[in-house]
Structure 1
Amino acid sequence: MGTAVREKTAIVGIGATEFSQNCGRSELRMALEAILDAVEDAGIKVEDIDGMVNYTLDTADQIEVVRSLGIPNLSFFNKVPYGGGASCGTIAQAVAAIEAGLATTVVCYRSIRDASGPVTYGDFEPTRVAGDTYMGMYHPYGLLTPVAWVAMFAQRYIHKYGVKDGQFAPVSLVNRENANRNPNAIFHNRTLSLEEYNNSPINVAPLRRHDCCLSTDGAVAIIVTTADRARHLKQKPAYISGVAQGMSTNGEVMTSYTREDIATLPEVEEYGKKLFEMARITPKDINVAQFYDAFSPLVPLQLEALGFVGRGEGVDYIEGGHRIRRDGELPINTSGGLMSEGYIHGMNLIAEGVRQVRGTSTTQIDDVEYSLVTGGLGVPSSGLILRRG
């Protein structure tokens, strides 16, 4: 996809369940609720949906969603792998399908019970070592979880650029400030001080508890259709100016330690070039950003990879939090992000990106024209630029 598809499609509906740590129902049930909420938001009918994209990790199977909602027919359906890297990738698949004439109205969704779901081996699954060659290189040394995997990248970044203890704190603090204004955020009623951040326990060095995202139950659905149709629907369209995916060579799933430089995000650098080229803008034109914030060091790394600052300058940019707060140069994660709103593998960041161009966020930025959203890091990833309708 290139500039030929720029703003030919738009997001017209967003829907979600509540975000909690004990939802009391199945992932399928939550997916249905979120999709119906998005349908209502868009002002369309369930019968209008003819395309569907979700994550390979979803247990809410497409065929059961179609059966439960009574969707008459899907002419396009697909799934995107790599966890949070799939978030904006679902939108890319929807855009491609609509532009190819394979569908007219596509729903993208993610439903997850990360907090209350059944206990499984998860990342410890012994058979995964046999299936993923690289896992056999790291599990024996205790690198068993995402926080451990990302901690390795963070340590290298700290060493290479002389980052001092506590310099990632502004990401956590700004996210929490934004969540405190968002009644739907898990941490809406819980503030975070620098003292509490500094005193929080180390999960895996150098990452503290408050450097890490939440475990969350919830679902989010996004509806994409043609720009022509979007102009006649209920909501102000969020035009898709740019959307791209990136998978770089010599990569693994969160353990790409054999690359020449593990203090960078090559997938993000590559999709970022295509993203801004498609939208015909530069990073300076972005008014607000929803950065995938599974762990706080990933925000300065993304600032560098996407060209907002030079390499090694991301931590200086976030210092004090002034530039990334709601009245700063580049406000970020205005709903609270994955660290303080909820962790729905990035789909909630897309919903917040839409709210910003609609003008309906609980931390609304003035006069937003372009809103950036990014997908999961350390895996094949994706990004999205939305323009005000």
Structure 2
Amino acid sequence: MIRPRAASAALVGIGATPFTKDSGRSELALAAEAVRAAVADAGLVPGDVDGLVTFTMDTSPEIAVAQAAGLGELTFFSRVHYGGGAACATVLQAALAVASGTAEVVVCYRAFNERSGRRFGAGVRQREPSAEGVALGWMLPAGLLTPASWAALAARRYLHVHGLEADVFGHVAVTARRYAATNPAAYFHGRPITLADHAASRWIAEPLRLLDCCQETDGGQALVVTTPERARDLRHPPALVRAAAQGAGRGQEQMTGFHRGEAARPPETAVVARQLWQRSGLRPADVDVAVLYDHFTPYVLMQLEEFGFCGPGEGGEFVAAGALPLNTHGGQLGEAYLHGMNGIAEAVRQLRGTSPNQVPGAAHALVTAGAGVPTSGLILGADG
């Protein structure tokens, strides 16, 4: 039996708003509600929190959230770049803060009205001058205007390299919706799909169909991180941070890196995988449940392959076989699109033993953030 390395931080609280298509509230209100819920779940009070971490894309400043949620003094506050790639990195930054003594209780949060407000899938809008905007200038004249169109190029290359058809992506969508159907918090609760449903859904950007694309969601999610020592005195069994990592490949771009090597493989995922396995001392066979960022179904297959759960081009068969519990909350395809933060919450539930789709005896969970962009990942473990 492999003995994982000691942890220097733990997740002790999770909180979320309802996941809707029209919240009717400000993004600040959503963030504050999620933060308060996470703190209460941990058995703490707002005054215990002395750190906050969020995304650069979040519209609610840390000090505004602190005021709205009734927090006290802050000794640490920070933000992480690159959209969904930031999800697990918020926990990494929180873990670094508590391990160094910079803060003792740090809350990571993300909240947005992504359906009723700014819809990411609506395409590129006018942007302020930036290096990222210049990079997009090479793609937009060719009609690559949306995340789905960028992902479609990588997906087409994946199918070509491995001699596959687009129906292989359906296994990811069907698996996510099967778990969502039995998760009361999921938007698609009670609504599973079949491979035939996937194949019948309309094209968005070939070879991606509607059911290959994640939802648009209004909502918020928050996570509480503290030291393992304090965690053991709190309300729930802690989810220990066995390893955390960020990664960017050479020549990295944001989902438009079509000239940096093999487009059918996300090199940033390989950077994260290498670090997680090395730092944790674990291997794919030690993972009991995986929560892989599913903004688009092809990237789930690519991540499985880069992490070593199966060989190149074998991700679809691996998912179909059900050998590894995958996105047991329903993922962003089935539960909600919260930039991956709800996936971290599901990993915590699995290690607590409270998931609606509980994996018996789950001791280690792998969580990933957005693929195709500079990304991050976590390996969480049960205590003891």
TM-score band w.r.t. shorter chain: over 0.9
Amino acid at match of 1:322: A
Cα distance change, pair 196–100 in 1 and its aligned pair in 2 (3 A): same
| Cα deviation digits, residues 214-242 of structure 1 (max 9, x gap) | 00000000000000000000011001101
Cα distance change, pair 130–15 in 1 and its aligned pair in 2 (3 A): closer
Cα distance change, pair 152–196 in 1 and its aligned pair in 2 (3 A): same
Is the partner of 1:255 in helix, strand or coil? coil
Aligned to 2:100: 100
Pair 1:307 & 2:298 matched:
no
- Percent pairwise identity: 43
Cα distance change, pair 119–190 in 1 and its aligned pair in 2 (3 A): closer
Amino acid at match of 2:64: E
Aligned to 1:7: 7
Aligned to 2:329: 335
| Aligned counterparts of 1:75 and 1:316: Cα–Cα separation in 2 | 48
TM superposition shift of 1:308: 1.2
Is the partner of 2:380 in helix, strand or coil? strand
Amino acid at match of 1:239: L
| Aligned counterparts of 2:24 and 2:118: Cα–Cα separation in 1 | 12
Q: In the alignment, is the contact (CA less than 8 A) between 1:370 and 1:386 conserved in 2?
A: yes
Aligned to 1:350: 344
Instruction: Give structure 1 stretches of 5+ with no counterpart.
Output: 324-328
Is the partner of 1:126 in helix, strand or coil? coil
TM superposition shift of 1:118: 5.2
Pair 1:380 & 2:374 matched:
yes
* Aligned 1:1-389 pairs, distance under 5 A: 6-117=6-117, 123-127=123-127, 131=131, 132-318=133-319, 321-323=320-322, 329-389=323-383
Cα distance change, pair 293–64 in 1 and its aligned pair in 2 (3 A): same
Q: Structure 1: which 4+ aligned runs deviate by more than 6 Å?
A: 119-122
Instruction: Give the TM-score taking structure 2 as reference length.
Output: 0.96
**RMSD between aligned residues:** 1.7
Quick check: 309-318 or 116-125, which moved more?
Answer: 116-125
| Aligned counterparts of 1:119 and 1:302: Cα–Cα separation in 2 | 25
| Aligned counterparts of 1:386 and 1:215: Cα–Cα separation in 2 | 27
| Aligned counterparts of 1:137 and 1:331: Cα–Cα separation in 2 | 39
Amino acid at match of 1:295: F
Amino acid at match of 1:20: T
Q: In the alignment, is the contact (CA less than 8 A) between 1:106 and 1:225 conserved in 2?
A: yes
| Aligned counterparts of 1:60 and 1:198: Cα–Cα separation in 2 | 39
Instruction: Give structure 2 stretches of 5+ with no counterpart.
Output: none
Cα distance change, pair 6–150 in 1 and its aligned pair in 2 (3 A): farther
| Aligned counterparts of 1:234 and 1:271: Cα–Cα separation in 2 | 31
Amino acid at match of 1:367: G
Is the partner of 2:166 in helix, strand or coil? coil
| Aligned counterparts of 2:355 and 2:204: Cα–Cα separation in 1 | 32
TM superposition shift of 1:68: 1.8
Cα distance change, pair 118–259 in 1 and its aligned pair in 2 (3 A): closer
| Aligned counterparts of 1:120 and 1:309: Cα–Cα separation in 2 | 31
TM superposition shift of 1:5: 8.1
Cα distance change, pair 309–129 in 1 and its aligned pair in 2 (3 A): farther
| Aligned counterparts of 2:286 and 2:247: Cα–Cα separation in 1 | 22
Q: How many residues align?
A: 380
Amino acid at match of 1:354: V
Cα distance change, pair 258–278 in 1 and its aligned pair in 2 (3 A): same
TM superposition shift of 1:119: 6.8
